[in-house]
Amino acid sequence: MRRGRKPSKELSYRDKKIINRLNSSFDTMPLLAKRYRISKQRIHQILIRAKDLGYVINRPRLLARHHEIRQCEVCSRILQVPEKDSLITKRQLSQMLNIDYQICSWHLNQLKVSGFVSKKFATMRSDRLAKALQCYMCSSLSPSAVGRKFGYKNFYSLLSYQKKRGIDVERTLSFPIVTTLKQEDHITASPSVSQTQS
């Protein structure tokens, strides 16, 4: 006779909460595993067991074809962010709009696929690099000075790489060119000796 616990015919309270989170939010399995301090494989096992017990799994991630962009509140808020601010990360965008990172990322991808937003928008992965490029574009510091300020040894290569990707990193400030002449180079308007004698 086999010993051990008999498999229960109902999910535990924790497993029900996990299934509810999967159905109602954009949380991924790794994120849920980290939150409940279990492995990703255990989340997958709970999902399979819930299906066997008759639970309906309707993950929001799988319902992209039923997503109406023009009626979606999150998409409309993302569209209000100006396109010219391309030097922004997804994390900064989610913080700016006060939206969960996973939800913001999912809606942004839907907007890119549909063509409402440029595919270059919010593609930066490093907050530090985005701040460094913003500092370079809006200040008079040289690339090497910006690199020292933000801890980049070769900021020139980062600038050229962003240009190759098609991201505009040209400076927005126009500095006036002031030409200073030496004292002996100034043109005097006083008449010459030959002009005064004639």
- Which tokens is 92 given? 């900064």
Check residue 172 and give its pLDDT.
Answer: 61
pTM: 0.51
* Residues in the chain where the model's pLDDT stays below 50: 1, 62, 174-196, 198
Residue 185 pLDDT:
45
- The class of domain 64-114 in CATH terms is mainly alpha
Q: What is the pLDDT of residues 51-70, one digit of tens each?
A: 999 888 877 654 556 677 88
pLDDT (0 to 100) of residue 122: 82
**In the chain, where the domains are located:** 13-60, 64-114, 127-164
pLDDT of residue 170: 77
